[in-house]
Structure 1
Amino acid sequence: MAKKKLNEYQQTVRDLSDRIVEAQSPIRVLDAIKWDDSVKAEFFKHKAKELPKIDKSYYANSALSFDSEAKKLQFQEIERDITRQLGQFNPVGQIMRRMCREYRMVVRMLEARGTPDMGLISQELYGSASDAFHAGDPTLSDLGMMLSEALQNISDRSDLVDEPKDLNAKQAVKMLQERLNKSFGEAEGTIRVFESDGILADAAAGADYIKIRSDAMFNERDIRVLEVHEGLVHVGTTLNGQAQPICTFLAKGPPSSTITQEGLAILMEVFSFASYPSRLRKLTNRTRAIHMAEEGGDFLDIYRFYLDEGYNEDDSFTNASRVFRGSTPNGQPFTKDLSYTKGFIMVYNFIQFAVRKGKLDRIPLLFCGKTTLEDMRTLSQLVEEGLVVPPQVLPPQMRDLNALSAWMCFSNFLNHLSLDRIEADYANIL
């Protein structure tokens, strides 16, 4: 079937969108800020008692894969051309201009590796653990403590102990590939799963693939989480973005979309009953660790925090290094890992509000690419105009809006009940 020819306006949007996609392609944030294996070896050589030797000169030895000044100028020129060709108030133009500004800020953050500015810019892009959602509401760190306390109450139950991680990377690749082939149906073979020894996390998603860390171990529950989180959400939204005939920028995500996408991934873990207590504990510990670093804690403080939480030495080092990557071991943290809990709350509230207002059509649009919550009304308008196509790859829970709506209606009702009163009334029967 031949592609429909774009009109002049659509082609202008497509050309500007393609320029953003091309300009951001060499920017790899996590690759630019990661620590090499020698840092870990040196840390344990000194019996885990000295701060890693990380400063500005360390990052200078790992040059960026692009000219940062030229890259900032490139995004500035694209932003200027968006205004010239689409006007100041054009909706899709406003989204693309914000993306250009975010990418310039990302470049500034990478230029500031090993300096105090790195952490400050990170907070601008991803937020701070001290951020509140609304005036008077708990902060992210408060929510992290509340969740940790709830999880602590069930931590000693023998029937909630995690299954042993007896699947190696090769077995995990095979099992995850089979599950994704089944989940994506006609798209079988679209997503590749393979081993990699160059990632910090147990797994990481790319445009059409999922990498599994070669030395990581898994259980079947972990595979289910990876299927939902990395496959159905991260790769799924990428595939939907790549299918956009005009707004090709939806295939790539700046930091504002990271918060939405990670929150969406965690929410889908919950909706699909793939998540579990120790998984939530891992996420809340990331928030608590970042808060500790923002309050002046250094690498050793965070490392010992994870030891106290029951992690082994290797995992404690890995988790602590996530907090300080791009920064220094006694500097402000890299706050991207706040995206999970922050995004979860924001996306959940958005879906709940959409159901309450009867705007169910807005919910699947979360999956039409690397979206940002503040753009959802605009994206709905762009779908009506034909500039954005609805998502084709959707998790089952998002295809069944009847069930999702019922869930959210009950949730909205329960939110109005007093938990303190319920606790008092149920004390004698629990």
Structure 2
Amino acid sequence: MTKKTQKPSMYLTEVKALSDRIVKAQQPIRILDAIKWDDSIKQAFLQSGCKHLPLIDADYYLQRPLGFDPDQKKQEFHQIERDLMRKLGQLNPLSVIMRRICREYQDVVRMLEKRGSATFCNISQELYGSSQDVFHVGDPTLADLGSMMEQTLTQLLQLEFLTEEPKTINAKDAVAILNEKIQAVFPGDGLRAMISDGIVSDAAAGTDYVKLRADAMFNMHDLRVLEVHEIWVHLGTTLNGMAQPYCTFLGKGPPSATVTQEGLAVLMEILSFSSSPERLMRLINRVRAITLAEEGADFMEIFRFFKAKGLDDEDSYTYSSRVFRGSSAQGMPFTKDLTYIKGFVLTYNFMRLAVSKGKPDRIPLLFCGKTMIEDMKVLVDLVEEGTVIPPRFLPPQFKDLMGLSAWLSFSRFMTSLNFRQLEQDYANVL
């Protein structure tokens, strides 16, 4: 890429000031904390013999303050949006991106105001997508993809040699192992793994840490996935985003960035051969559960869905509560868990198209921060002019693009082959 002339310093000062305001304004917004269910809800459900719907409605969420005034927060983002117009203009690419982010955070606030209602779920679909969304015109929906992959993965999981090893590593020991890996990848950056009691999933990444649930158990394969997914991608893109001199908003991604970031993390699991059929099945089960909930299934029906997959009562409750958090036990779902598979497909398609168009150098820019695929063309220009700096950290697979480019160069041809005909032709081989 040819280096363009650096923008005037006054312009960059304005960009940084406005970007910093977005970062500061979003700080008190904690979506997952605002919508999670208390442990008392779980205990009451289990003690009932798993026979009664959890008592969750709009009144329940009113007991969980957001930590900010919704009207003031919406006005704050509106004012930043107006100032972007006044100082950067309507058509300036960074103005367009940052104004969209401001509007998105206003939608987030409106969604959180409507916890326990249909409006919450409607906005969730706008932010994260729906199982009925298509990737491109005429393509299968996310729900279709879930059904197709479920069939394949079910067959694979019946094979004994593909069964994962038992989970014998407790959270304390897992933290020690992950901290060694973090220091090897990010020495001296102050990043760390730690134990937390306040998360639903086994693990989650924050700004400078990876949290592990205190009662979670792991195996070495799980820890490899966490290394690639949480450390390489989530901590890596955060570190790269926070290193940006002007576009500091790249260190804090809105929900639309979640699609790209989670997709990139799942893609990295696969590129590094760290994933497994069992891991993919867990992700596909989330898609299938959201699909069922969007079709009208309530909490009990989703709970029974997970039970039928071989999960125990506690895990089935945990996965079901992920589907309905922010909603009610009989409402529509919170659709964030679609982003893993949706983002994987979109990110993979971006990468293979970049290679087919002779632009593989675009791919590492996904790691500049909490990026979005729809902004990649603008991001290329911003890197060329020096407004955005290239990623400081890249996973091994992206440091040298030769192998990745060679692999992806076949993808267009391979996807054009008729799979049904392949099955017939290889019938006497497999």
TM-score, reference length from structure 2 = 0.97
Specify the SS of the correspondent of 1:204.
strand
Q: Distance in 2 between matches of 1:158 and 1:290?
A: 29
Deviation of residue 412 (structure 1)?
2.4
Look up the match of 1:129. Answer: 131
- Residue 271 of structure 1 aligns with which residue? 271
Residue 38 (structure 1) aligned with residue 40 (structure 2): yes
CA distance in 2, matches of 1:342, 1:409: 22
Q: Is the 8 A contact 1:168 1:215 kept in 2?
A: yes
2:365 and 2:381 map into 1 onto residues whose CA distance is 11
What is the DSSP-based 3-state SS (H/G/I as helix, E as strand, rest coil) of the residue aligned with 1:363? Answer: helix
Match runs of 1:365-404 below 5 Å: 365-404=365-404
Which SS does the other structure have where 1:212 is aligned? strand
Contact 1:119 1:334 in 2 (8 A): yes
How far apart, in 2, do the equivalents of 1:143 and 1:46 lie? 35
Instruction: State the distance in 2 between where 1:331 and 1:315 align.
Output: 21
Structure 2 counterpart of 1:203, one-letter code: A
Structure 2 counterpart of 1:235: 235
Show the 5 A alignment for 1:176-255: 176-184=178-186, 187-188=187-188, 190-255=190-255
Moved over 4 A (4+): none
What amino acid is the match of 1:101? R
Aligned residues: 425
What CA deviation, in whole Å up to 9, does each residue of 1:165-206 have, x standing for no partner? 01000111111111222233xx34532111111111111111
Q: Could you say which residue in structure 1 is the equivalent of 2:117?
A: 115
Over 3 Å counting, the alpha-carbon distance change for 1:131 and 1:386 in structure 2 is same
Corresponding residue for residue 15 of structure 2: 13
The one-letter amino acid paired with 2:231 is G
Deviation at 1:415, TM superposition (A): 1.1
Tell me, in whole angstroms, the C-alpha distance in 1 between the residues paired with 2:43 and 2:22.
39
8 Å Cα contact 2:116-2:326 kept in structure 1: yes
Q: Name the CA distance, whole Å, in 1 between partners of 2:377 and 2:8.
A: 24
Following superposition, the deviation at residue 261 of structure 1 comes to: 0.1
Q: Which amino acid aligns with 1:395?
A: P
* 3-state SS of paired residue (2:13): helix
Contact conserved, 1:292 with 1:302, CA < 8 A, in 2? yes
Q: Is the 8 A contact 1:267 1:348 kept in 2?
A: yes
Residues in 1 aligned to 2:191 and 2:411: alpha-carbon distance in whole angstroms? 34
Q: Distance in 1 between matches of 2:374 and 2:383?
A: 16
CA distance in 1 between counterparts of 2:307 and 2:429 reads 37
CA deviation map 1:259-288 (0-9, x unaligned) = 000000000000000000110000000000
Whether contact under 8 Å (1:182, 1:188) holds in the other structure is no
Q: Is the aligned partner of 1:343 residue 2:343?
A: yes
Query: Which residue number in structure 1 is paired with residue 95 of structure 2?
Result: 93
Amino acid across the alignment from 1:113: R
Hey, what's the Cα distance between the residues in 2 that align with 1:410 and 1:213?
41
* Residue type at the aligned position of 1:68: P
CA distance in 2, matches of 1:289, 1:248: 36
The code of the aligned residue for 2:203 comes to A
Name the counterpart of 1:148: 150
1:193-244 Cα offsets, whole Å, 9 max, x none, are: 1111111111111111111111000000000000000000000000000000
Kept after mapping to 2: 8 A contact 1:298/1:329: yes
Q: Write the distance in 2 (CA, Å) between the matches of 1:158 and 1:302.
A: 27
Deviation, 1:410, is: 2.1
How does 1:261-300 map onto structure 2 within 5 Å? 261-300=261-300
Distance 1:105 1:413 in 2: 41
Q: 1:188 to 1:228 in 2, by over 3 A?
A: farther
Which residue, 19, 25, 30 being the options, matches 1:23? 25
Distance in 2 between residues matched to 1:61 and 1:183, nearest whole Å? 42
Q: Which amino acid in structure 1 is aligned with residue 183 of structure 2?
A: N
Please name the residue that 1:165 is paired with.
167
Letter in 1 for 2:11: Y
**Corresponding position of 1:421:** 421
C-alpha deviations, 1:365-424, integer Å up to 9, x for none? 100000000000001111111110000111000111001101101222211211111110
| In structure 2, C-alpha distance between the alignment counterparts of 1:428 and 1:39, rounded to whole Å | 55
Letter in 2 for 1:83: M
Distance 1:198 1:363 in 2: 35
Does structure 2 conserve the Cα–Cα contact (< 8 Å) formed by 1:202 and 1:216? yes
Q: Secondary structure at the match of 2:212?
A: strand
What residue in structure 1 maps to residue 328 of structure 2? 328
Report the 3-state secondary structure (helix = DSSP H, G, I; strand = E; otherwise coil) of the residue aligned with 2:140.
coil
The RMSD of aligned alpha carbons is 1.2
Q: What secondary structure is seen at the aligned counterpart in 2 of 1:215? A: coil
8 Å CA contact retained: 1:72, 1:107 = yes
In structure 1, the residue corresponding to 2:410 is in which secondary structure?
Answer: helix
Superposed displacement of residue 353, structure 1:
0.3
CA distance in 1, matches of 2:351, 2:14: 33
Q: 2-side partners of 1:359 and 1:83: how far apart?
A: 32
Q: TM-score by structure 1 length?
A: 0.97
Question: What amino acid maps onto 1:425 in structure 2?
Answer: D
Matched residue type, 1:334: F
| Matched AA of 1:243 | A
